Amino acid sequence: MAPMMTVPPIPGRPARSLAGHVRSASVPCHSHPLLMHVDDQLLALRSWTSNPGQNPLSLAHVRALLCVLDELLHLPLAQGALVRGAAACTDSLLDGFLVLADAFGSFLAALLALRQHASDLRAAVRRRDPEKLASAARAQRQVGKELEQLAAAVAREAARCARASLVSCSASAEPEIVSTVAEAINDTAVASASVFLEVCAVADAAAAVAASPSSSSKKQRLALVNASSRSKRLASEEQREAVALEKLQELELCIGELESESEKVFRSLVQTRVSLLNVHTPTF
């Protein structure tokens, strides 16, 4: 199981209550129902990230948040607030969505590599080929390390962009809108990093189980020589192989589901960035 990730606060922004944003008495409240809906999706995503339960590989909350966020960016209220803000503020938000889109592009490539390595491992287990087992297991673990690095990078860079957007936000901008978009970028990155790490854990576990028969069987061949011992060894190896094949099948099914979901998230990120870019550089 991958380590649980919590959602870090973004320095430089006002605190949030469970009811929504904390607003200054001197700033008029222009909350729109859709803005409150985004708040609800943010809270749902944070709750899932803190406790994913039986669905540690789900991207449903990420997709739901991006869907309502894109709708928000089409509201005149949100567009006006962002237009009044400093250009550097919107630039940082655009950079944040680019970081997220790039991360999911890399994640999709990693899933494709894992699918191939899992297939290679399955073939090696069935053929009882220790060399190919070791090679495919190493390759799968290497992808796991790359996913760990990707998780750390997306969380770090998205948080940087979110902070920069708030720091550069001009006094004329409505902080509520900017804060909401910045939080969506930060929280999406943290939730995505959690999924990346969980995939890494599942892949490493499958590689470890698949590679174990080759290392243990050599020792047992030297120690067990009589017919009864050989029979027991063979039964033990067959049992381990069955477990390894089951783990690899689970991994491949997981990869198949995540590929579809990740492609949808990637497209949503691109669409949301385009919507924000249209606000930033309107065409007439």
| 160 and 37 Cβ atoms separated by less than 8 Å | no
> Which CA distances in Å does 83 have to 60, 160, 177, 185?
31, 22, 11, 19
In a domain, 194, yes or no: yes
Q: What's residue 7's pLDDT? A: 52
Q: What's residue 283's pLDDT? A: 56
Question: Cα separation of 3 and 198, whole Å?
Answer: 8
Find residue 16's DSSP bridge partners.
21
Q: What total number of domains does the chain contain?
A: 1
In a domain, 178, yes or no: yes
Find residue 93's DSSP bridge partners.
none
In a domain, 54, yes or no: yes
Token pair for 33: 């129902």
In a domain, 69, yes or no: yes
In a domain, 14, yes or no: no
**Residue at 135: amino acid letter:** S
In a domain, 3, yes or no: no
Token pair for 195: 């999924």
In a domain, 17, yes or no: no
Q: What's residue 23's pLDDT? A: 37
Q: Dihedral, CA atoms, 21, 24, 26, 32, nearest 10 degrees?
A: 0
Name the stretches of the chain with pLDDT < 50. 11-30, 214-224, 284
Predicted TM-score of the model (pTM): 0.82
State the residue range of the domain holding 267: 32-280
| 8 and 190 Cβ atoms separated by less than 8 Å | yes
In a domain, 13, yes or no: no
